[in-house]
Amino acid sequence: MLAKIHVTLKNGVLDSQGKAVHHALNDLGYSEVQDVHLGKYMEIALKGISEKEAQTRVKEMCEKLLANTVIESYRFTLEPAE
Amino acid sequence: MLAKIHVTLKNGVLDSQGKAVHHALNDLGYSEVQDVHLGKYMEIALKGISEKEAQTRVKEMCEKLLANTVIESYRFTLEPAE
């Protein structure tokens, strides 16, 4: 099973990396860029557990390690392994 | 228009961050974790350009700034702004 996880900053948290990329794109002439948000993307391959177990355990992994839930939110999907 | 961009390391490039997360998850008791890949996720809000223009220009942004195409690959989708 493959978990695809997105971790992004919560609204209201200063996204300094995003701002830097925003300015860089504007400086390169991309004046159509209005806003940039940067986050993390993770793919985790899981073996030997059911989808239901995976749902619980990936949520736990996010809460414990992958996201800092004070400032970040996460979402994930589960797909059958290729 | 909203561009959602994923930047990931190409196959064969050492993913040291991914390895670190993999070990950390195994150490936390998640023995079902077989593999971890880490990448970047970006959302870029665009204004005043057509979807066709956006397709070309976001590709350019990725090639020029957002991805290091020697070691990273990128993919993106375009959605109407909310």
pLDDT digits (tens, 9 = 90+) for B26-58: 999 999 999 999 999 999 999 999 999 999 999
Name the average pLDDT for chain A.
96
Instruction: Flag if B44 and A36 touch (Cβ within 8 Å).
Output: yes
- All structural domains of chain A with their residue ranges: 2-79
pLDDT tens for A20-76 read: 999 999 999 999 999 999 999 999 999 999 999 999 999 999 999 999 999 999 999
Cα separation of A81 and A64, whole Å?
24
Cβ–Cβ below 8 Å for A36 and B57 = no
Residues A76 and A4 sit within 8 Å (Cβ to Cβ): yes
Q: Report if pTM > 0.90.
A: yes
CB contact under 8 A, A61 and B28: yes
Q: Please tell me the distance in Å from A12's CA to the nearest CA on chain B.
A: 16
Nearest to B37 among A34, A43, A48 (CB): A43
CA distance B13 to chain A (A): 15
Residue A75 has a pLDDT of: 98
Q: What angle do CA B74, B77, B82 make, to 5 degrees?
A: 140
DSSP string, B12-79: TS--HHHHHHHHHHHHTT-TTEEEEEEEEEEEEEE-S--HHHHHHHHHHHIIIII--TTTEEEEEEEE
Q: Classify domain A2-79 by CATH architecture.
A: 2-Layer Sandwich (3.30)
